[in-house]
C-alpha cells in the first residue's frame, strides 16, 4: 500500500495528495461506521455482562500476545484487491483502499487488539460513542501510509524496517490489553450494586450530624446502625438502605419497608411488598419496586392517607438507584447502559417533566442526595470517581473529592448540614467504609 500511495505511484505530487486525503477519509469513515454498527447492535445487551466479556477477551488476547496461547489472529487472511488500482480511477481506488483496510475484519490483522476494541464497541451499546472509539483505528491506518515515507525514498524498505521491530510491539500490546482488562473490570457498569459479601459500612444516610449506614456481618447478617454524635450506635437487625429524617428512620427489610423512631425503636409505619431503597420525608416515603420482568419503578406513598403515585420507571437492565427526598423534591438516577442521568422534580408535580441535573454518555452519574438546597452525587469516569455538589436551583458544580481507582470507587452518598458522605468501596475485596468531606462551615448560610 505504501508503494501505491506515493508521488511516484500516483503519477504526481498533486495526485498523491488527493489519494492520501481520500484514503484517510475512507479509513476514518469505515472504522467509525463499523463502531456505530457495533454500538447499535450492542444497545440491547446487558452492559455489565458485555463489559465482563470484554475484560475476559482482553486477558485472553494479552495471553496470546505473550505467546501463552498459540494460533493465528481470527479474521480474514486476504488483502484489498490490487486490481482496483489498475481498473478504477484514482479517487475510487484510494477511497476504497482506505475503507477496506480500516473495516479491519476484511483483511489480515497482525495483533488481537482490534478485535478487543470491536468487542468493547459492542459492549458500549451507543452508536456515537462506539464510532468515536473506533475512528482512531482508521486514522492510524492512514498514518501508517504516510509515516514510512517521511524519511525514506524507498517506502518498501521503510516498511521492512518497521516489520523488523514488530517483536517489540507484542509485550507493549500485551501490557495494554491487561490494563484494558483491569480498567473494564473495575468500570462503574460492573459495580452498580454491592455483592452480598460486602464488608464494612455502606449506603450512608444523614440528618444534621446524625449518620446511619448499612452493614453486613458474616454471622449476624445485614443491619442498619444509626450513629448519633457522642453516643453509642443504635442497631436494627435485618435492615438495609437507611434514610433519616429527625428521629425517624426508614429502612428496607425482607418484608418491605419499615419506619421507626430510632431513638426508642417504636415502629411508626410499614409498607409490605417487594420494595426497597426508601427515602423519607414524613408523611411521604419514596421507594423502588421491581416487577417480574425486571423493570424498575419509583413510587411515593403518603403514610397518613395511603395514597401512592408513580414518579419514574425504567425498562429491564436499566437502574433507578436509591431516591433522595427532601424539601418537597425527589432526586434519582437513571442508568441505561447508553446514558446515565441525575434527575430532579417536585414530588407534587403531577405529570411535570423532571429536570436533568447531570447527564453523560461516557461516564456514570449516580446516587444523588439532597439537603439544604443542594444535590450531591457520584460521577465515575473509567476508574476515577468524583463526588460532585451543586445548588438545586442553578449550576456551578463543585468537586468535593476525587478517588482514583481501580481498586476502590465512590458509590452511594448522603448529604448533611455541613458534611457530605459517600461509600468508599473495593469491588474486588468487598470491603467498604463511609467517608466524609466538609462542604460548608457550620456558620455558613444555607
Domain ranges, ordered by start, for the chain: 7-185, 199-438
Say which range, 60-69, 204-213, 304-313, 379-388, has the weakest mean pLDDT.
60-69
Question: What is the arithmetic mean of pLDDT over 64-79?
Answer: 68
CA distance 318 to 334: 7
Q: 34, exposed or middle or buried, with CB in 10 Å at 0-12, 13-18, 19+? A: buried
Q: For residue 240, what pLDDT is reported? A: 93
pTM value > 0.75: no
Q: For residue 445, what pLDDT is reported? A: 39
Reply yes or no on whether the pLDDT at 280 is more than 80. Answer: yes
Q: For residue 52, what pLDDT is reported? A: 75
Reply yes or no on whether the pLDDT at 278 is more than 90. Answer: yes
Break the chain down into helix, strand, coil percent, rounded to 5: 30, 35, 35
Q: 32, exposed or middle or buried, with CB in 10 Å at 0-12, 13-18, 19+? A: buried
The closest alpha carbon to 117, from 58, 190, 67, 72, belongs to 58
Helix, strand, or coil (residue 240): strand
Between 122 and 231, the higher pLDDT residue: 231
Say which range, 35-49, 227-241, 273-287, has the weakest mean pLDDT.
35-49
Q: Which pLDDT tens digit goes with each residue over 132-170? A: 888 888 888 777 777 665 655 555 555 556 556 666 667
- Identify the band that residue 94 occupies on the pLDDT scale cut at 50, 70 and 90: confident
Helix H or strand E segment including 214 = strand 210-217
Give me the phi and psi of 370, to 5 degrees please: -125, 140
- Identify the band that residue 69 occupies on the pLDDT scale cut at 50, 70 and 90: confident
Question: What is the arithmetic mean of pLDDT over 110-130?
Answer: 80
Question: What is the arithmetic mean of pLDDT over 73-99?
Answer: 75
Mean pLDDT, the chain, rounded, equals 82
Q: Which residues of 96-111 are buried (b: 16+ CB within 10 A; e: fewer)?
A: bbbbbbbbbeebebeb
The CATH superfamily assigned to 199-438 is Prolyl oligopeptidase, N-terminal domain (2.130.10.120)
How far apart, in Å, are the Cα atoms of 19 and each of 6, 23, 86? Answer: 9, 6, 14
CA distance 200 to 210: 18
CA distance 57 to 205: 39
Return the C-alpha cell found at 170. 507484542
- Identify the band that residue 115 occupies on the pLDDT scale cut at 50, 70 and 90: confident
Give me the phi and psi of 76, to 5 degrees please: -70, 150
CA distance 91 to 147: 21
Q: For residue 191, what pLDDT is reported? A: 45
- Identify the band that residue 63 occupies on the pLDDT scale cut at 50, 70 and 90: confident
Q: Which pLDDT tens digit goes with each residue over 204-262? A: 999 999 999 999 887 788 999 999 999 999 999 999 999 999 999 999 999 999 999 99
Write the CB contacts of 418 (distance below 8 Å, at least 6 apart in sequence). Answer: 209, 438, 439, 440, 441, 442, 444
- Identify the band that residue 436 occupies on the pLDDT scale cut at 50, 70 and 90: very high
C-alpha 248: how far from chain center: 34
Q: For residue 47, what pLDDT is reported? A: 65
Amino acid at each position: 500500500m505504501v508503494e501505491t500511495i506515493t508521488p511516484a505511484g500516483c503519477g504526481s505530487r498533486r495526485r498523491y495528495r488527493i489519494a492520501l486525503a481520500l484514503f484517510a477519509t475512507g479509513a476514518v469513515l469505515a472504522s467509525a461506521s463499523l463502531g456505530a454498527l457495533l454500538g447499535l447492535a450492542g444497545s440491547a445487551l446487558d452492559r455489565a455482562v458485555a463489559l465482563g466479556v470484554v475484560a475476559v477477551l482482553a486477558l485472553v488476547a494479552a495471553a496470546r500476545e505473550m505467546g501463552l496461547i498459540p494460533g493465528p489472529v481470527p479474521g480474514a487472511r486476504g488483502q484489498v484487491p490490487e486490481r482496483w488500482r489498475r481498473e478504477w480511477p484514482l479517487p475510487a481506488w484510494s477511497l476504497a483502499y482506505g475503507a477496506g483496510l480500516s473495516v479491519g475484519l476484511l483483511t489480515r490483522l497482525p495483533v488481537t487488539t482490534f478485535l478487543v476494541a470491536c468487542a468493547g464497541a459492542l459492549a458500549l451499546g451507543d452508536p456515537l460513542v462506539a464510532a468515536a472509539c473506533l475512528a482512531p483505528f482508521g486514522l492510524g491506518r492512514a498514518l501508517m501510509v504516510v509515516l514510512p515515507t517521511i524519511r525514506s525514498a524507498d517506502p518498501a524498505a521503510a516498511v521492512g524496517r518497521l516489520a523488523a521491530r514488530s517483536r517489540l510491539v507484542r509485550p507493549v500490546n500485551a501490557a495494554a490489553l491487561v490494563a484494558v482488562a483491569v480498567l473494564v473490570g473495575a468500570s462503574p457498569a460492573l459495580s452498580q450494586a454491592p455483592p452480598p459479601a460486602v464488608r464494612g459500612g455502606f449506603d450512608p444516610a444523614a440528618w444534621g450530624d446524625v449518620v446511619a449506614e448499612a452493614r453486613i456481618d458474616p454471622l449476624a447478617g445485614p443491619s442498619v446502625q444509626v450513629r448519633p454524635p457522642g453516643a453509642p450506635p443504635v442497631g436494627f437487625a435485618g435492615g438495609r438502605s437507611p434514610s433519616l429524617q429527625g428521629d425517624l428512620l426508614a429502612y428496607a427489610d425482607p418484608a418491605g419497608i419499615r419506619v421507626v423512631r430510632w431513638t426508642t425503636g417504636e415502629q411508626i409505619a410499614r409498607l409490605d411488598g417487594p420494595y426497597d431503597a426508601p427515602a423519607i420525608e414524613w408523611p411521604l416515603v419514596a421507594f423502588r419496586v421491581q416487577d417480574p420482568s425486571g423493570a424498575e419503578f419509583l413510587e411515593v406513598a403518603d403514610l397518613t392517607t395511603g395514597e401512592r403515585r408513580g414518579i419514574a420507571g425504567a425498562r429491564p437492565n436499566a437502574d433507578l438507584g436509591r431516591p433522595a427526598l427532601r424539601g418537597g423534591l425527589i432526586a434519582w438516577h437513571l442508568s441505561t447502559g447508553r446514558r446515565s442521568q441525575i434527575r430532579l422534580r417536585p414530588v407534587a408535580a403531577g405529570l411535570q417533566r423532571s429536570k436533568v441535573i447531570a447527564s453523560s454518555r461516557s461516564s456514570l452519574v449516580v446516587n444523588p442526595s439532597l439537603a439544604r438546597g443542594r444535590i450531591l452525587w457520584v460521577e465515575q469516569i473509567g476508574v476515577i470517581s468524583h463526588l460532585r455538589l451543586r445548588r438545586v436551583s442553578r449550576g456551578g458544580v463543585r468537586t468535593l473529592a476525587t478517588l482514583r481507582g481501580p481498586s476502590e470507587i465512590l458509590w452511594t452518598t448522603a448529604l448533611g448540614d455541613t458534611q457530605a458522605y459517600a461509600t468508599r468501596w473495593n469491588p474486588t475485596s468487598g470491603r467498604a467504609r463511609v467517608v466524609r468531606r466538609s462542604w460548608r462551615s457550620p456558620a455558613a448560610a444555607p
